[in-house]
Structure 1
């Protein structure tokens, strides 16, 4: 029995009846198993080593080009993974599956956060970052070959937001863990930015969750574990769920839709729109890798794939290159 087989057997003896088991994981294309990593561990490693994951360190969470101590998409994904693994461990569910979903859930996010997502949606009529995340791991990584992740991980990535729930409990943990992470950490960044203060919080949020980000996370994680323990469902108590809902409404009013950030959001959407127009009219300027995909996916989808993968700073550099005339030196 090798290391992987030993871990697979331990999952049956140690994990909950409701936990996903790595031995049962399926892929679209069969592969020889690894001697020491389970299928979910391999998925996690593939996501971490992907180019799309690396680019998250330069993609906006809320504040565009904010400074060293604010969250970016990569730090957000790591925080979602940490929160979700804590919940999975408390419920004796599969931590490796949970972590893989959490690390991969935002790899399809555009530059400039939700402003970039909204810009592409307005341009092409339909764009959602969760669907693009699935597209990244399924078709775009590894020069178009994809990562061949397990079906459980891909389902969790696709359904971490949107109308449909993941079919695994681990995926449902990430769906809620994502919300816990962005609400509490964006609240923390909002305080750092001087946009909100702890005493601005609604009374119910202060009473049920507290005013410190760490206390808020602890309250919601503890409640999820206690409410879900022994059940084939991930849930929260009505009291904590209502407090989380009010925190979310507060964050949308004070941060996500704040007039103070609106001008930067408009500028970000303008950049995305100009890049889209340029590459639609000049596809020969796209990197060769993307030019090679045009016949298979069509020009519009190829341009969307390219723009969605850009980091904030690279998108700005491209915009300057194609929209701002160069200055020439020389004597009069």
Structure 2
């Protein structure tokens, strides 16, 4: 008699597209006993969801460093990418569990202070990308250095959600585009809330092709992906919608992500991370013990990079104040076990 997991695995072959990834065929670096109730991709999703790196995303900036309660964080962004990805996967009869696991894990290696933090870490180290760091987090850093032992399909989707290489699975390719859909629409929504944009500021082509509010925009892009990719062995977009998305993205980079209006925040964030990075290189013994213990394996620079890149916005600022500012009634509890 089949257990629950085996029944789900069997149903995947009956229900899902021939192009879908099948959980029974997924492989891990280190074999482990199977769960009676969850498939490999479901277990990967749960491992990411319960990880420390995922929890830290709730205190990491999406775009606006100084923001109120209703602005996106890296965690809400990841949840939104997951929802969009699952809708597309369901429409194409692909593996929803795989898309969800990739979407939840795609940004766990992101720095504090959003892309400003990523830029300064790249400058300090000579090479740093958040997608590669996300893979490093799930592969080596989580669970006290043991990693999460995720399937190759999930790790492939995480590291290739951005960059020049495409994910090998269609589920991974869904997340790659859903990530862009989510951050364009929701960063636009946050920019309206912040007063940096007002309705009507986007190029007219974007409104004409995608709609006038974020709900319409997401629906237009999701529907286009499902219709265009039906019965195909790839994840596709129509030329009209892709062009509108490219125009949308160029506008957001020019007027928001790289705008002078946010330059002061970017400078402050960069200064904090630079100072912390140099401080811990020179005072390596001040790192939490679990990081110090990894020096023989990875070397000091890599360990300091892991630590600083993993900080939340709020903890990075508090740590900076504790190290560099005179005591004025502030206190920061020392946490030698980690963040």
Q: CA offset at residue 211 of structure 1? A: 1.5
For residue 38 of structure 1, what is the aligned residue in structure 2?
A: 39
Structure 2: distance between partners of 1:202 and 1:281: 49
Matched, 1:258 2:236: no
Residue matched to 1:242: 243
The residue aligned with 2:145 is 144
Residue 322 (str. 1) matches residue 315 (str. 2) = no
- Where 1:255 maps in the other structure, the secondary structure is helix
Displacement after TM superposition at 1:326 (Å): 1.7
Q: Distance in 2 between matches of 1:195 and 1:281?
A: 40
Which residue in 2 is equivalent to 1:165? 166
Q: Which residue is equivalent to 2:80?
A: 79
The answer for the alignment partner of 1:98 in structure 2 is 99
Pairs aligned (count): 328
Q: Name the counterpart of 1:273.
A: 274
Q: Distance in 2 between matches of 1:237 and 1:121?
A: 34
1:327 shift after superposition = 4.0
- Tell me the equivalent position of 2:333: none
1:155 is aligned to 156
Residues 197-244 of structure 1 deviation map (CA, whole Å, 9 limit, x = unaligned): 121111110100012000000000000000001000001000000000
Matched residue, 2:3 = 2
Structure 1 residue 253: Cα displacement: 1.3
What is the CA–CA distance in structure 1 between the aligned matches of 2:328 and 2:195, rounded to whole Å? 38
What TM-score, normalized to structure 2? 0.96
- Once residues 20 and 280 of structure 1 are traced to their aligned partners in structure 2, the CA distance between those partners, rounded to angstroms, is 43
Three-state SS of the structure 1 residue aligned to 2:200 is: helix
1:291-330 matched pairs, under 5 angstroms? 291-327=292-328
1:193 aligns with 2:194: yes
Stretches of 4+ moved more than 3 A in 1?
none
Q: Please give the alpha-carbon distance, in whole angstroms, between the structure 2 residues aligned to 1:237 and 1:41.
A: 31
Structure 1 unmatched runs, 5+:
none
Name the stretch that deviates more: 196-205 or 172-181: 196-205
Who is 1:69 aligned against?
70
**Unaligned 5+ residue runs, structure 2?**
330-339
**Structure 1 residues 45-66: Cα deviation after superposition (integer angstroms, max 9, x where no partner):** 0000000000000000000031
**Equivalent residue of 2:71, what SS?**
coil
User: Which secondary structure does the structure 1 equivalent of 2:46 belong to?
Assistant: helix
| Structure-2 separation of matches of 1:18 and 1:44 | 21
